[in-house]
Structure 1
Amino acid sequence: MKTRDVIASAVQNTFRSKLRTSLTVIAIFIGAFTLTMTSAIGAGVSSFIDSQVGAIGAPGVLAVTPAPADGPVADGPAVYDPERATGGASIDGPPGMAAGGMNEADLERIAEVEGITGVSPMVSMPVDYIAAAGSQQYELPIDLASGAFIPDLAAGAAVDDRAERQVQLPADYVEALGYTDAEAAIGQPVTLGVTDAVGEHHEVGAVIAGVTNPGLLSLGAEGNQALADAVQEAQQSGITGDVAPVYLATNATIDPASTPEQIAAIKVDLLEAGFQGQTTADQIGAFKTVIDVVTGILNAFAVIALLAAGFGIVNTLLMSVQERTREIGLMKAMGMRSGKVFGLFSMEAVFIGFLGSAIGAGVAILTGLIAAPLLAEGLFAELPGLEIVRFEPLSVAVIIAVVMAIAFLAGTLPARRAARQHPIEALRYE
């Protein structure tokens, strides 16, 4: 019997007991459906996290902050150090560290670290509110724009340091400020309220340059250098003498082609200087870990269902072997070798696994294609860009292959039992 004849015969024999085969296929279907859906959900959520959280850092950028006094990984809050807090010499860190952040000397020290090509401090503007013509006043966190951030724009463009005072707003401020949509807000003037050190109120004008899409993380608004200078001038009105700026964090640029080993070396050098640096991958790692754990747990339940289906395959084929004992004896008496008999029953198990996994994966894909748009417009309407299920052909193919492999293993015992049948004894079986 040729291989193609073995396959054709296995397919025909599978449907001899339609009810028994159908029940086994249903059990496999449940496991394959669950695996396909959980894999697609994990891929979709991971892709969304990559696109959303990826905006917190461009390639080749390290977010640098002062290292905790007790080291980069301390148990509980850091112990208060009056020397460090007042900007004096610190026992655990380098001297001159600014209270609550970093000063110009700290930025210079970061820039001296080998591998760092530039330093861009994160500057927060002390703005009380934002308002447009005829609108109410709304609170607005606003920072100086940095090349380390990649805005996901709904309209307009990122702020330009070469232009006059510009601001980039989150999408949820568009309607509140009285604009019909993001496009209508571009180029429109807004007013920022600032209170100086002596309590006097000032207003600073700006133009909307861009509007960002809502996302997983709200980065607030961003302004260009001209706007930052105007806000700082208004905020320091009434202060005599120079005020040294304090930065909570800074972005350090490195070669985007740096290897993981080179980045690790830069982090070590930063730590020795009293700072800690994180790449975008470091910052999104926690999010991905949670998604991977949840997906893994769901996949575990699917695997349990597949194992249960494996026992169903064993039972189905054992009964088939028993029912076809005389047929097996006749085939062996006519010269069919034990290997071919083993292959025949193994192929039946593999075909049952293929049926269940293919149907399960197909129904999962169909369900996902129908449910995804409904969820995007309903439950996840506030998260535009979220593709809750993302079916990857390679993942689906791997799932089908794994289920078929499990089916083959499950069919090994019945197939061996059939292959070991003695032809004369099998023919005498009643």
Structure 2
Amino acid sequence: MRGVDIVSTAFRNAFRSRLRTSLTVLAIFIGAFTLSLTNGLGTGINRYIDDTVASVGVDDVMTVTKASEHTPADGPAEYDPNQIEVDNGPPGSTATALTDDDIDTIAGIDGVESVEPLKTIAIDYVQHDGGSRYQLSVTQFVPGMRAELASGRQVDLDAAGPQLVLPEGHLEPLGLGSAADAVGQTVTLAVTDGTGTQTTTEATVVGVAEPGVISMAGAIPNDALTQELYDLQTTGAPEAETTRYAQASVAFDASGGAQGTEALQDRLADAGFTGSTLEDQLGTITAVIDGIVLVLNGFAVIALVAAGIGIVNTLFMAVQERTREVGLMKAMGLSSGRVFSLFSIEAVVIGLVGSAVGVLGAVGAGQLVNGVSGDLLADLPGLALIAFDPVSVATVVLGVMAIAFLAGTLPALRAARQDPISSLRYE
């Protein structure tokens, strides 16, 4: 019997007992479907994060904070006048404040091209044309950064006049009309200075930002507006308060790749600072997502193990039912290796059918979920909640086929070791 004949015979024999095989295929389907769907969930979210990082366009800038000398402990932390609240950490998180001397030290570290302290600005409200006042947060803008715009353009960091990219969600409340209508209009911003007096300034809206992972609600000012707001906010404040920064933005040469970035981070650490890129900061989110997907995949693997047991049972029964048939084939000269291959291929066929149907079902379910989630996740444009990577899909199918092959090994060995004389006498 040629190899082609063995394969074709195995395909026919795999569904000789349709009900038993169909139940086994169903068990494999459940495992492959769950595994594909959970992997698609992780791929979709991680791909959105990667696309967001790429769209921002900042790969040569890192955020630097001063390494804290305090270790986390239960209960309230001891008061430290050098602690300052950070913007990019969890609510209430603090770091040791950077001073002008620290900024000079960072600038002198090998690999640092430029350093700019990030000035914390607390806007009291934003207003348009004497209308209602609304709260507004500020997102710090660094060279090379690009916001996803619904209309307009990015802020010009070198422009002499104050410019602002406004979040899309503020257009209707402020009465600015559509995104296109808002571009070019002027808004009023209010801050409270060091004496408790509220002062205002104006800025021109040059762009309207769509919601995203990087900036969900914050406005993006250019350097002129940032400096003006900071000067107004620190008027009357003690000098020590105006020279303390939560973090600094460091520009470096990214041509060295990941190794060059890590080397710079090590040099910063040796000097008492902590440097993190935007990708590092979003890496925490990715790690959490991967952990959740791993747990969900565990349930899928359990289902596949159960399906493997089903394959063992199915093939053991097939071997028993076809004992005389196996004896006849061996009596006619079919080698034990060929018999083993015949039953092993049957197991692989069952695994192939179950995994293929499971993957196709997961793709269909993913399309349905993406259609429904489009309205629920309208604030995250461009997010496909479930996405399928061809390599991942192929890995699932091949992995299930490998499990099926291993599950079919014992029944195949039993069939291959049968004595042809005893098999022919089997009733």
Compute the TM-score of the two structures, normalised by the length of structure 2.
Answer: 0.89
365, 370, 373: which is aligned to 2:371?
373
Deviation at 1:268, TM superposition (A): 2.9
Does the 8 Å contact 1:170/1:213 carry over to 2? yes
Q: For residue 65 of structure 1, what is the amino acid of its counterpart? A: T
Alignment of 1:231-250 (within 5 A): 231-235=229-233, 244-250=242-248
Structure 1 residues 126 and 396: CA distance shift in structure 2, 3 A: closer
Partner residue in 1 for 2:157: 161
Identical pairs, percent: 45
Does the 8 Å contact 1:69/1:78 carry over to 2? no
1-structure distance, mates of 2:240, 2:27: 75
Alignment of 1:31-110 (within 5 A): 31-52=31-52, 58-70=58-70, 74-75=72-73, 79-81=78-80, 101-110=97-106
SS in structure 2 at match of 1:64: strand
Does the 8 Å contact 2:211/2:217 carry over to 1? no
1:391 pairs with 2:375: no
Partner residue in 1 for 2:270: 272
1-structure distance, mates of 2:12, 2:239: 93
Partner residue in 2 for 1:14: 14
153, 158, 175: which is aligned to 1:178?
175
SS in structure 1 at match of 2:256: coil
Structure 1 residues 182 and 226: CA distance shift in structure 2, 3 A: same
Q: For residue 2 of structure 2, what is the amino acid of its counterpart? A: K
SS in structure 1 at match of 2:25: helix
320, 324, 327: which is aligned to 1:326?
324
1-structure distance, mates of 2:297, 2:20: 26
SS in structure 2 at match of 1:397: helix
Deviation at 1:326, TM superposition (A): 0.9
108, 129, 137: which is aligned to 1:133?
129
1-structure distance, mates of 2:315, 2:347: 7
345, 348, 351: which is aligned to 2:346?
348
Partner residue in 2 for 1:89: none
Partner residue in 2 for 1:407: 404
Deviation at 1:325, TM superposition (A): 0.8
CA deviations on 1:270-317 (whole Å, 9 max, x unpaired) are: 233332111223212221121111101111110110110111111111
1-structure distance, mates of 2:247, 2:238: 26
Partner residue in 2 for 1:294: 292
Deviation at 1:153, TM superposition (A): 2.1
Does the 8 Å contact 1:122/1:143 carry over to 2? no
2-structure distance, mates of 1:318, 1:175: 69
Q: For residue 356 of structure 1, what is the amino acid of its counterpart? A: G
Structure 1 residues 122 and 233: CA distance shift in structure 2, 3 A: closer
Aligned residues: 414
CA deviations on 1:13-71 (whole Å, 9 max, x unpaired) are: 1121110010000000000000110010011111223344677881022210121023x
Deviation at 1:406, TM superposition (A): 0.4
Structure 1 residues 241 and 14: CA distance shift in structure 2, 3 A: closer
Q: Which runs of 5+ in 1 are unaligned?
A: 87-98
1:204 pairs with 2:173: no
Structure 1 residues 370 and 302: CA distance shift in structure 2, 3 A: same
2-structure distance, mates of 1:316, 1:124: 68
Structure 1 residues 124 and 238: CA distance shift in structure 2, 3 A: closer
Deviation at 1:342, TM superposition (A): 0.6
Partner residue in 2 for 1:421: 418
Does the 8 Å contact 1:103/1:244 carry over to 2? no
Deviation at 1:102, TM superposition (A): 2.1
1:187 pairs with 2:184: yes
Structure 1 residues 237 and 321: CA distance shift in structure 2, 3 A: closer
1-structure distance, mates of 2:237, 2:198: 14
Compute the TM-score of the two structures, normalised by the length of structure 1.
Answer: 0.89
Structure 1 residues 220 and 85: CA distance shift in structure 2, 3 A: closer
SS in structure 2 at match of 1:194: strand
Structure 1 residues 237 and 279: CA distance shift in structure 2, 3 A: closer
SS in structure 2 at match of 1:395: helix
1:119 pairs with 2:115: yes
SS in structure 1 at match of 2:28: helix
2-structure distance, mates of 1:219, 1:148: 20
2-structure distance, mates of 1:370, 1:126: 43
Partner residue in 1 for 2:219: 221
2-structure distance, mates of 1:171, 1:10: 61
SS in structure 1 at match of 2:328: helix
CA deviations on 1:103-129 (whole Å, 9 max, x unpaired) are: 322211101011111112212334321
2-structure distance, mates of 1:257, 1:74: 36
Structure 1 residues 222 and 114: CA distance shift in structure 2, 3 A: same
After superposition, the CA RMSD in angstroms is: 2.6
Structure 1 residues 109 and 330: CA distance shift in structure 2, 3 A: same
Does the 8 Å contact 1:57/1:280 carry over to 2? no
Partner residue in 2 for 1:92: none
Q: Which runs of 5+ in 2 are unaligned?
A: 85-94
Q: For residue 189 of structure 1, what is the amino acid of its counterpart? A: T
